[in-house]
Amino acid sequence: VVDISKLYAQTGAFTYDPGFTSTASCESSITYIDGDEGTLLYRGFPIEQLAEHGDFLETCYLLLYGELPTAAQKADFDYRVTRHTMVHEQMQRFFMGFRRDAHPMAIMVGSVGAMSAFYHDSTDISDAQQRMIASMRMIAKIPTLAAMAFKYSIGQPFVYPKNELDYASNFLRMCFAVPCEEYQVNPILSRALDRIFILHADHEQNASTSTVRLAGSSGANPFACIAAGVACLWGPAHGGANEAALKMLEEIGTPDRIPEFVARAKDKNDPFRLMGFGHRVYKNYDPRAKIMQKTTHEVLSELGIKDDPLLEVAMELEQIALRDEYFVEKKLYPNIDFYSGITLKAMGFPTTMFTVLFAVARTVGWIAQWKEMIEDPSQRIGRPRQLYVGEPKRDYTPIAQRG
Ligand code: ACO
């Protein structure tokens, strides 16, 4: 319908790249991925080393400031984050507006956006100090909101943060403590959760991070931008994949049914995909999936869960897919979501919380990317073009004459 050459003449040449598979939208010095090698670096440091030796708040410092902190810088950073963990008491009333069976991600989209109203003093993005306060507030308060979303969804009272605990332990306590019982944080589970947070902290220009950058490019306040990121993360092709992967493993049920599901995944007429397999950038094993698999074993062993049928199905499915010509040819390997669902389920989180935990971890990546964009002098409002394929120009017909 449309004369493309005329369109180009009018607009100048531009690339047509659905899904931005080969378009860089920005320069960034935060995260590097080599998808062919299966390498992931935060500020140059391999994810394996950070997950093994570091903790999540150290990773947050690294992503925000570009260097690992000294002991004094780390202590100061931990203190500053900890000081902000409480949310305004009125937030509780905001929560009461949600139906009691609301999906915790729906509550997150709303409550993170609502932070713009509660903390409007740090929405002035022109002030570097305010930008940092907003960043601290989000890293500190989003776990509190996430735990509140969980408690609300199961009808239990909210648990206030206890700031002598580390980040992951505090989160576990806010999720699982109940007023009438003593709650002791299990250090193995806390360490595992901390590692899961490190693995999810940033992943360059994925869909939700690009959403945060695009929202922020118009000058929107940081809380609104991160709420946009949370909304994007919710999709099953992105952060919702761990929930979908676990559901798939449960549906498969036993190893003898794996070939049936693998055959479905290969069938072009069946929309079914092996959830937790494949990645836009990794055409090799996702390095986070390897660490996640190890963490799964540690958690199950700590909890005394032997012969978990889901783990059995997952490991067998992985082996079958890795040998299958279709998956080999298309370079489809397990991604981080393949094992994370099993681990989070064993820890006691319902599937509806999986993406919420991802959002808690990714908050720092979103903020670091948002700050980098705001502080980049070449930053312009994001405004993709399109190839128009609709009707050519035509005249309006009054409704009485439309038949
Ligand atoms: N199962 C079966 N086939 C698959 C799968 C899969 N999981 N993933 C990709 N393919 C096939 C596609 O059908 C396509 O085949 P074709 O070339 O014959 O048409 C080919 O592999 C390429 O797939 P695309 O969808 O074009 O790849 P894209 O880069 O756009 O998608 C994605 C990547 C969305 C992750 C995809 O692999 C997928 O849907 N995986 C399952 C969902 C999932 O695990 N998402 C988590 C991503 S990681 C994260 O967000 C933390």
Residue 10 pLDDT: 63
Can you read off the two tokens belonging to residue 31? 């995260």
CB 13 within 8 A of CB 183: no
Beta bridge partners of 32: 41
The residue whose C-alpha atom lies closest to atom 37 belonging to ligand 1 is: 278
Residue 73 to residue 270: CA distance in whole angstroms? 53
Residue 187 pLDDT: 97
Ligand 1 pocket residues where CB is under 6 Å = 19, 237-239, 241, 265, 273-280, 330, 332, 335-337
Residue 368 pLDDT: 98
Can you read off the two tokens belonging to residue 244? 């979908």
- Counting Cβ atoms within 10 Å, is residue 270 exposed (0-12), middle (13-18) or buried (19+)? exposed
Can you read off the two tokens belonging to residue 271? 């929309």
Residue 4 pLDDT: 61
ipTM: 0.92
State the closest ligand 1 atom to the C-alpha of 286, by its place in the atom list counted from 1.
48
Residue 272 pLDDT: 93
- Counting Cβ atoms within 10 Å, is residue 320 exposed (0-12), middle (13-18) or buried (19+)? middle
Residue 275 to residue 334: CA distance in whole angstroms? 9
Residue 58 pLDDT: 98
State the closest ligand 1 atom to the C-alpha of 200, by its place in the atom list counted from 1.
51
State the closest ligand 1 atom to the C-alpha of 19, by its place in the atom list counted from 1.
30
CA angle 186, 190, 193 (to 5 degrees): 140
- Counting Cβ atoms within 10 Å, is residue 19 exposed (0-12), middle (13-18) or buried (19+)? exposed
- State pTM to two decimals: 0.91
Residue 380 to residue 100: CA distance in whole angstroms? 41
CB 150 within 8 A of CB 356: yes
Can you read off the two tokens belonging to residue 81? 């984050």
- H/E segment holding residue 364: helix 354-374
CB 157 within 8 A of CB 140: no
**Per-run averaged pLDDT (10 residues), the chain, 403 residues:** 61 84 94 95 98 97 98 97 94 93 94 93 86 94 97 95 96 95 95 97 97 96 96 89 89 94 94 91 90 92 88 90 92 89 92 95 98 93 91 95 93
321 alpha carbon to ligand 1 midpoint, in Å?
14
CA angle 268, 315, 353 (to 5 degrees): 80
**Alpha-carbon Rg of the chain, whole angstroms?**
23
1 alpha carbon to ligand 1 midpoint, in Å?
32
Helix 241-252, helix 354-374: angle, nearest 10? 150
The residue whose C-alpha atom lies closest to atom 30 belonging to ligand 1 is: 280
The residue whose C-alpha atom lies closest to atom 34 belonging to ligand 1 is: 237
The residue whose C-alpha atom lies closest to atom 41 belonging to ligand 1 is: 275
